[in-house]
Structure formats: structure tokens, C-alpha cells
Structure 1
Amino acid sequence: MLISFEKSFLFVHIPKTGGTSIRMALSAYQHENEHWWTNRLLQRCGISINYCLGDYRHLRFRTHDPIMAVQRHFPPDTFRSLFKFAFVRNPWDLLVSAYKYIQTVPSHKRHRLVTNQKFDDFIEFAIAKDIGQQLRMIADPNGQLLVDFVGRFENLHGDFAMIAKRIHVQAELPHVNETRQTTPYQEYYSQRSKDRVQFAYQDDIETFGYEFDPTERIAVSAAA
């Protein structure tokens, strides 16, 4: 989550969609919360003052908070005035990226568990823990999108350039948290795990128009 009152935008960071690069590129415009560290330290002691500070500008939001967390506590006019955006990714690709990332980061809280998991087992784990769910991060409980623009990881640089122009900033994306993936994500899947993702992430797949292997559609179209 990154909010800028100076440039009037709100970025919702969905994990494994290029969000770390986006936050770094836009960090110069992030709202400085004078109570941020105090709030964080108190929360670690089991004391929360986050929603007792009065001014919504003092609220602390977590990196991957959903947009509803902001809508719930911001004045309606302020929420509407912000240009709200997020990026999404093909769910099958995203889950492979999450699997490889957790395996390569020893400090990750799920590293030990996932390192010893076969991919099909990880898919079951991800479904049970709601890992990789995207629509619910940027929509209300009825599935109505609350963002003004949804960029795609598959067109990260092009869509980010459009956003930068829209919010009147000059920024370039750095390359961070890249998970080197030499094997096509499709090859990680068995028929069962492919179908499990199709079912469990159906809302994301249908809303954002994803399919397991878009190259198959392109090949058929070219042949026709």
C-alpha cells in the first residue's frame, strides 16, 4: 500500500505483481506518517493506536492491505479523489513465482515448509491460505472494483508509464525481487493442479481475462 496526498494516488500492492518495483519508483511521493514508527512499535507490544489518532492521515497501513482497509477509514470525498490503481498477474504464473520466491528466501516465514513441498502440494496449501487471491484485494465484498486502473504484470513497464503520466510524475521501474524462472510456468502443473487453480481462482481468471496458456490461443488464431 502506498498513498500520496501530494500527487493524489493510492497504489494497492498485490503480492508478486511487480509491486516492490512500483513502490520504490514512487517512494519519493509517499505520504510521511509522523506516527508510523510509534504505531508500529506499540503494535508489536500488543497495543494498537492506529485508529485512535483521529486524523486519517496518521493511519498506518500494511504493505499488502486490501483497498477496503483504506475505504473503511478515509472520508468518502478523499477516497474518491485519489487515483487508485493496482497490478494483477496470470494466477498460474503468479503461484509459480510465489513458490519459487518462498523457496529462495530463508527469512520468509513459510520458507521451511514450502522448501519441502512438491508443487502440487504447494497449490493445495496456497488455496487453503488464500495465497495469490487478487480480486478481493481491490474490490468490495460484491466483487465491484474499487480501483480506477488495473495494470498487468505482463505489460508492467507500459502500464506503469501510463500511470506515471496520469499522476504527473517522472519515474522508472527498478528491477527488484525478481524470481529467476527459466522453466515456463505451465510445466510446473499437473492436470489436477491446473484445474485446482482454475476453480479456486475463478474470480480472478474471469475478471481479468486470464487463461492457462495464452500462447495456445495465439497459435490457433494465427493458424486460422
Structure 2
Amino acid sequence: MIISHQHRFIFAAIPKTGTHAVRQALRVQMGEADIEQVGLFVNRRFPWPDLAAIQHGHVALRDVRPHLGEAVFGGYFKFAFVRNPYDRFISYCAFMLRGGDMFQRRPREVMRHFLFEAPPEQHILFQPQATLLVDDDGRTPLADALGRVEQMQACFDAICARIGIATRPLERVNASPRGDYRPYYDTALIDAVAARYAQDVEMFGYSFDGPRGEA
């Protein structure tokens, strides 16, 4: 997460949505009073002990809200990037087995392991994207704008225009070398991801083939 007091925005970094590319582009705009929490490539922590103890940079908007106060939180432009849950789950599997070829050799076995046999419920990368973007009731969205990974540069350009900073080309950072996500799936796996990430599918308007109405 990045909190910019200079430009009055909060960037909620959802894992496996190109967050490091966005961070890199935003850092050149950060002022001295701006703060960031991140644990990969760069190690930075928020000044609040309870959030600093999380040890990663994927902080929920509802958790930073009490530290900023209602006036600041409500007045700052809050945004994030979201991704097709079916594509994101493949990225998760590839990331978790990086350094070996298990996922390349037996992808559906790996997918079934995470979905059916030993789902890592508490792992922040495995949890639904909406988890970081909703209020305590689990339903009310707190972000003012959502960009899509599927149209990342165009969405980033629009967000920069909204917060009044210069845009720049997003670099490809920490990406998994693989092709289209759809051939990895069979019907049972499609249904399992649809069930596990039902809130993401509904809230962000996705289908198996992509953003609804844009497939």
C-alpha cells in the first residue's frame, strides 16, 4: 500500500495484480511525507506497529482507515487494480511453485491441491481480492476506483489524470512466464474457482473469459 499525503491518494496493493509495476511508477511521485508498506524487492513499513507487523504490503483499506481518521480516509482518492480470478489463480499456482517445474508438468494436480486438498485459507495471495477492498461488513466497497489488469496501462493513465500526476509506462515486474490461463482448466476447476472467488467475480464483473461484456 502507498499513502500519499502530497497527492491525497491511497493505493491498495492487491497481490498478483501487477502491484510492483504500479508501485515503481508511483514512487517517483512520492513526497517526503508519503509512506509505503512493502516487503518484496523493497522493505518499507508503515509507522503504525499493528500494520508494520503484517510483514507484507497488502494492507486492507479498512485496516488503515482508523489510523488516518475519517476526514483523511474519506477525502483521499482510494484505488486498486483487480484481475480476472481465473487468471489470477493460475498466477498464484505458478508463483507458489516457482523455482521448479511441477506446475508446468502437472498444472491441474497443483490446482486441485490448492482448491480441494489443502487450500491455504490464511495466505494473503490466496484470499479473494475483495478482502482488501471492503468494509468490516464484508460487502461495502471502500475504493473509489478500480483499474483492470486486462487494460492496465489505460487504467493507470486514467487514475493518474484523476489524482493529478504524470503517467508513465508501466514496466513488467515479477511476472510469471506462461501463456493464456484458459487451457489450464477443466469444468471442475472452473466451478471451484467460481465458488471460491464468487465475490470477486460478482463485484468486479468477470466471467471465465474475462471482464463481462469485454470477452
Distance 1:204 1:99 in 2: 18
1:120 equivalent to 2:128? Answer no
1:81-106 CA distance string (max 9 Å, x none): 11100011110100101111222258
AA aligned opposite 1:139: V
Indicate the residue corresponding to 1:25 in structure 2. 25
Report the AA paired with residue 114 of structure 2.
F
Choose the corresponding residue for 1:134, options 129, 136, 139: 129
**Residues 41-52 of structure 1 aligned to structure 2 (within 5 Å):** 50-51=48-49
Out of 207-216 and 19-28, give the one that drifted further: 207-216
- CA gap of 1:68–1:218, structure 2 versus 1, over 3 A, is closer
Unaligned runs of 5+ in 1: 41-48, 53-58, 220-224
Question: Partner of 2:6 in structure 1?
Answer: 6
| Identity, % of aligned positions | 30
Which of 161, 167, 180 does residue 163 from structure 2 map onto?
167
CA distance in 2, matches of 1:27, 1:135: 25
1:81 to 68, 75, 86: 75
d(CA) in 2 for partners of 1:161 and 1:86? 13
CA distance in 1, matches of 2:89, 2:81: 15
CA distance in 2, matches of 1:87, 1:33: 24
- The Cα of 1:121 is off from its aligned counterpart by 1.2
Bigger Rg, structure 1 or 2:
1
Unpaired runs of at least 5, structure 2: 40-46
> How many pairs were matched up?
195
| 1:209 counterpart residue number | 205
After superposition, the CA RMSD in angstroms is 3.3
Q: Offset of 1:65 from its aligned partner?
A: 0.8
User: In the TM superposition, what is the alpha-carbon distance from 1:18 to its structure 2 partner?
Assistant: 1.1
Paired AA for residue 177 in structure 1: N
Q: Does 1:144 align with 2:140?
A: yes
1:136 and 1:146 map into 2 onto residues whose CA distance is: 11
What TM-score comes out, normalization by structure 2 length? 0.78
Is the CA contact 1:92–1:212 (under 8 Å) kept in the aligned structure 2? yes
2:205–2:212 Cα contact (<8 Å) kept: no
Q: 1:216 to 1:6 in 2, by over 3 A?
A: closer
Q: TM-score, normalised by structure 1?
A: 0.75
Q: Determine if contact 2:156/2:167 at 8 Å carries over to the other structure.
A: no
